[in-house]
Amino acid sequence: MVGAAALSTMSAGATLSGCAPSGPASGMTILRPEDVELLRALTPAVMKGKIAPGDTARIDQTLQSFDTLMVDLSEPVVAGVLQAFDVLNMGLTRGLTTGQWSAWSKATLEDAESALARLRDSGIGLLNAIYAAVIRLIISSWYLIPENALTTGYPGPPKKVTRVAPGAAPVEEVTQ
Amino acid sequence: MTDLSRLTLGSTTDPYNRAAERGWDITDASQLTSSLELEADVVIVGTGAGGGTAAETLSKAGLSVVLLEAGPLKTSSQFDMQERAAYRDLYQEGTGRGTKDGGMVILQGRSVGGSTTVNWTTSFRTPPETLKFWAEQMGVSGCSVEEMAPYYQHMESRLNIHKWPQTPNNNNGMLQRASEKLGYSWATIHRNVRGCLNLGYCGLGCPVDAKQSMLVTTIPGALDNKAKLVHRARVVRVLRDGDVVKGVEAEALTPDVRGTTGQKITVRAARTILAGGAINTPAVLLRSDVPDPHGRVGKRTFLHPTTLTMGIYEESIDPFYGAPQSIYSDHFQWQNVHTGPIGFKLEVPPLQPAFAAGFYAAAGEEITQSMAQLNRTQCMIALMRDGFHEQSQGGAVEIDDKGQPVLDYPISDYLLEGVRRAFNVMLEMQFATGAQSARPAHKQAKHYATWKEAKAAVAELDVAAHKATIGSAHVMGGCAMGDDPKRSVANCDGKYHHLDNLYIMDGSLFPTSIGANPQLSIYGLVYKLSTNLLSQFQA
């Protein structure tokens, strides 16, 4: 998804320049405390119009969905995503790649938007790839929550019942 | 507008509900508490279009067959049309598979039935131009249009492949209208369905078994013929004794197929058939360290690199409902077969919300405002026909230090020229049919209000890898068939050039991309190869 092989060099540099990455954050299976801080800052920018910066309930719900999505991906993909997060989290590479020199917890909505735009518009393909992966994961996490999918004009899928009488017609229309 | 959420579907059709009664031999490798050793006439690695077809053909003739599948057995009783579970359970790497530098996302199936369980049912015979190119330029023999015809006919009949008789949904209808308006050729797609309810959830597993995937056709057929199916079993390598292949060694995966349990599965067989698809088949060969004197294994892997545009209309499109693909246009496909700019096929994809959001590859209000109008959104896709021109050599499958496959597919300027051209073609088609705004799949693009504005913007866009959104749902090649061992991996019977008793029977045999959705090309070719293999046993 991000190009794990290409990322390993840069994130190794990021790791050397900062502190070592930690284990999962409380309540998360894969996302680490520093990833949670990063995603709290980026999510309202990526989902602008749906999530306001102070809307912790919606941000937390999206992060939980993100963590579940990470569990559902493969080990090499997760490794690549975490390496991308290392680049965005560690002081020096964070500042150089996104212009965010203070911690993500201090970032405003405008800071987050500016960081995303720098990654998107960079002449370095690897940063464009990080941008593509991060926004895809955040927006997928949000729209994978069934109630959010319904905000698109999508009425939802048909209802599936697993047990019906043998010989019953495969479809019946339920009148309201 | 349509609202299918009021429908209730039962699952009376799941053939696996009667597995015990029918005497089917199915093993879930994740539940093994000791190693498993099996013997068979034939072991088949993979249960997709290739493996399923080979399994039915060989077992029907009375051969003992073992089928190994790395993915889980998931059947229609579990297909509830929810995106998250489908992407988690039915796709390679939970839809996270991509190329080495992240330039392309790759959608490939990973459950019993392989990609046929999640494909959109579009069925084309291998185009005559492609077969001619293989014969004239790629050293392929025995695969002319005339020679292949009976094999396609057989599989079309087996899988009930027929021209879609119902009215296309508006997503497809817009492709037809645009083609008519602009004077482009178009036609109706053939689909492998029986009793299709026109719901639109082919990509999430058909909830009513209307799709004639391997999961509900050839694999039940093979199980009826006493084939054994072992799922959640990932093949690590082929076993060999000198130049003779003796079977395969596999490892049992955990119930979520993300880890290993430590149990081993060994299958000894007179013939070994690799059918894991164009990424996993070369990966098994590379892990097995097979002789490859000309360095051809995993080379020339093709993807039909695909890009898209989104158009928002005043009328309802409901692109999440209805047969996903029913109309196509080859107007820009065959102007030059192997000279000149890259050709592309025009189709549309189904747009369930999370899938559509991922396709958009946008952020901020550009994505949230666009997605709020998904029910009025039409999407065009252009599938680039890679592997014909000398500047289109495709990618290479490698294995990493853990033995996991990685596909290195550099995005060339030759390909990117096609992406920009396709943006223009598709945007013009959307505006010609009344789109209020349209957007090419490029991270720096936005919705443009007129064709004039869009055309000017596309001319200025930096159409580069990572900035333009390019994906793939068709992985082909990497183990090319051909008569010349210097240029190919297998001969035209699918036999590995440098080892005995080892066969390849999947889309990895294709020496170029197909130039059309590949499932029927795999069915037809593998039906031919597996029929030929039978004669060895009958001799």
Phi/psi at A108 (nearest 5 deg)?
-85, 175
Residue B347 bridge partners (DSSP): B381
**Residues B472, B301 contacting (CB under 8 angstroms):** no
CB contact under 8 A, B8 and A171: yes
Residue A2: pLDDT band (50, 70, 90) is low
Of B47, B45, B43, B49, which Cα lies nearest the Cα of B66? B43
Higher pLDDT, B193 or B1: B193
pLDDT, tens digit, 9 for 90 and up, residues B420-455: 999 999 999 999 999 999 999 999 999 999 999 999
pLDDT, tens digit, 9 for 90 and up, residues A100-111: 999 999 999 999
pLDDT mean over B386-403: 97
Share of chain B above pLDDT 70, in %: 100
State chain B's mean pLDDT as an integer.
97
User: B373: nearest CA in chain A?
Assistant: A152
CB contact under 8 A, A3 and B103: yes
**Residues B352, B393 contacting (CB under 8 angstroms):** no
Of B407, B390, B44, B402, which Cα lies nearest the Cα of B233? B44
The domain segmentation of chain A, as residue ranges, is 4-152
Q: Does B266 touch chain A (CB under 8 A)?
A: no
CB contact under 8 A, A157 and B361: no
Which pLDDT score is estimated for A162? 60
Q: Which of B8, B364, B467 is the closest to A46 by Cβ?
A: B364
Q: Which of A131, A138, A149 is the closest to B443 by Cβ?
A: A131
Chain B: nearest CA to A44, how far in angstroms? 8
Residue by residue, DSSP assigns A23-64 as -PPTT-SS--HHHHHHHHHHHHHHTTTTS-TT-HHHHHHHHH
Burial bucket for residue B19 (CB in 10 Å: 0-12, 13-18, 19+): middle
Give residue B406's identity as a one-letter amino acid code.
Answer: V
Task: Determine which of A72, A87, A138, A175 to mutate to test the interface with B (most B C-beta atoms within 10 Å).
Answer: A72
Residues of A with Cβ-Cβ distance to B87 under 8 angstroms = 72
Segment 135-174 of chain A within 8 Å of chain B by CB: 135-136, 138-140, 142-144, 146, 148-149, 151-164, 166-174
Q: Which of A72, A80, A152 is the closest to B371 by Cβ?
A: A152
Given a cut of 90, whether residue A7 has pLDDT beyond it is no
pLDDT, tens digit, 9 for 90 and up, residues A26-64: 999 999 999 999 999 999 999 999 999 999 999 999 999
For chain B, which domains are there? 24-73+111-159+212-295+480-536 (3.50.50.60), 165-203+305-472 (3.30.560)
**Residues B444, A120 contacting (CB under 8 angstroms):** yes
For residues A72-93, one letter each, b for 16 or more C-beta atoms within 10 angstroms of the residue's C-beta and e for the rest, the string is: bbbebbbbbbbbbbbbbbbeeb
Phi-psi region of B164 (alpha: psi -120 to 50; beta: other; left: phi over 0): beta
Residue B9: pLDDT band (50, 70, 90) is confident
pLDDT, tens digit, 9 for 90 and up, residues B499-529: 999 999 999 999 999 999 999 999 999 999 9
CB contact under 8 A, B12 and A77: no
CB contact under 8 A, A6 and B101: yes
pLDDT, tens digit, 9 for 90 and up, residues B102-135: 999 999 999 999 999 999 999 999 999 999 999 9
Q: How many CB pairs under 8 A join A and B?
A: 219
Given a cut of 70, whether residue A15 has pLDDT beyond it is no
Of B455, B472, B420, which Cα lies nearest the Cα of B441? B420
Chain A: nearest CA to B181, how far in angstroms? 28
CB contact under 8 A, A113 and B364: yes
pLDDT mean over B201-227: 98
Given a cut of 70, whether residue A175 has pLDDT beyond it is no
Which pLDDT score is estimated for A1? 61
Which pLDDT score is estimated for A174? 37
Residues of A with Cβ-Cβ distance to B258 under 8 angstroms = 74-75
Segment 53-112 of chain A within 8 Å of chain B by CB: 68-69, 72-77, 80
Phi/psi at B81 (nearest 5 deg)?
65, 20
pLDDT, tens digit, 9 for 90 and up, residues B246-289: 999 999 999 999 999 999 999 999 999 999 999 999 999 999 99
Q: Name residues whose C-beta falls within 8 Å of residue B417's C-beta, 6 or more positions apart in sequence.
A: B341, B342
Chain B: nearest CA to A113, how far in angstroms? 8
Q: Does B364 touch chain A (CB under 8 A)?
A: yes
